[in-house]
Structure 1
């Protein structure tokens, strides 16, 4: 069975399907930011100095189009189970997801689907560096269909 996994750094709020408006443009590459830029609000929370340096050395340039012309998913994605991993230092959490869903905006409807679950990690944007063991546990649990559903009681202790 397939399961789509998103982190709080990659949540797309896109709704319907459409083709890229800029698909004919040349893709420019954005270089790996300097450590000072990566260390923005909560970005490097929990990442040790050695891993920070490694991130800059091994990081890959990113296509700028992903920032300005995100891919929008076709409606078929709604049939795939989804697990979200909120990195709490980024300011996103299960409670924030509940508040977004409560706005009634259609783009947040998938948050409350019965096949959508969430986990929270007490870290920043790079859990693979700051909390690798915890992230690995979350990935195994997500693959097993575990996690907290949006409509569960507000006690999120089971999502960690």
Structure 2
């Protein structure tokens, strides 16, 4: 049996995966949605000491408690950072690491480092870089309001009801996980991977990645590995809310090693 370990991004929790997890289980797979410390229904555990290592350990513990032989680890948005850290610690358990509309984490960089150095200028970039200034008591970033989600969240395809749920259940985000530098080894790049791009309102797609590979950019050359596959979803940044059926199908296809492959540079 394949087990999907689903790791959400900032301000959210395991509840975000409800519809997708239900569909994956209906297909016969196991699905475990991780709620990171200080978020979701674990928001009461938030504090200034919560950092990226805390969240990596959350994911590691979930992997350790899965009995399935194959673990497909899915990191969404910020969630790819603790997912990559956990994959580095448990590479023998990971059949595939899935980047769901997320960056490509680099050793020695924090999430904010990568946004600062690699994200093109945009209001979203400036808002993300402003997280430390918005942090209450120096460590807790308030959750976006419904209006802020609408303005900045790339919610294409999300119903008003799902938006209401997002706004109601969003929790403050500890700052520490966003500023602590990730430490990973080459074991992560050696894993089978899948990238899923959400192309409506997004800034990246398969064609853009192919151009980066062709340019010779070192950090993406390992993605020409035949085990690296890619998909596109014509939706906004929240596919688990906007297109849960399509996302579940793509995750099952990714677990089977399907998807588009890149040519060599």
Question: Do the aligned partners of 1:87 and 1:120 also contact (CA within 8 Å) in 2?
Answer: yes
Aligned equivalent of 1:7: 100
CA contact 2:145–2:167 (8 Å) conserved in 1: yes
C-alpha distance after superposition, 1:14-66 (max 9, x if no partner): 1x4x497xxxxx98232221233323467100001110010111123323234
TM-score, with length taken from structure 2: 0.49
For structure 2, the residue ranges without an aligned partner over 5 or more in a row are 1-69, 71-94, 111-136
Secondary structure, counterpart of 1:32 in structure 2: coil
Q: Is 2:194 the counterpart of 1:83?
A: yes
For structure 1, the residue ranges without an aligned partner over 5 or more in a row are: 21-25, 153-160
**Preserved contact between residue 229 and residue 260 of structure 2 (Cα < 8 Å):** yes
Contact 1:117–1:146 (Cα < 8 Å) also in 2: yes
CA distance in 2, matches of 1:85, 1:151: 17
Q: How does 1:9-158 map to 2 (within 5 A)?
A: 10-14=102-106, 16=107, 18=108, 28-40=139-151, 43-89=154-200, 90-151=202-263
Per-residue deviation, residues 54-108 of structure 1 (Å, max 9, x unmatched): 0111123323234334524311112210001000021211001111212211111
TM-score using structure 1 length: 0.79
**Larger helix share, 1 or 2:** 2
Q: Once superposed, which parts of structure 1, at least 4 consecutive aligned residues long, lie more than 3 Å away?
A: 65-70
Aligned residues: 144
Distance 2:249 2:163 in 1: 23
Residue of structure 1 equivalent to 2:26: none
Q: Higher relative CO (CA 8 A, sep ≥ 6), structure 1 or 2?
A: 1
Please tell me whether the aligned partners of residues 27 and 65 of structure 1 are also in contact (alpha carbons under 8 angstroms): no
Provide the rounded CA distance (Å) in 2 between the counterparts of 1:123 and 1:70.
Answer: 30
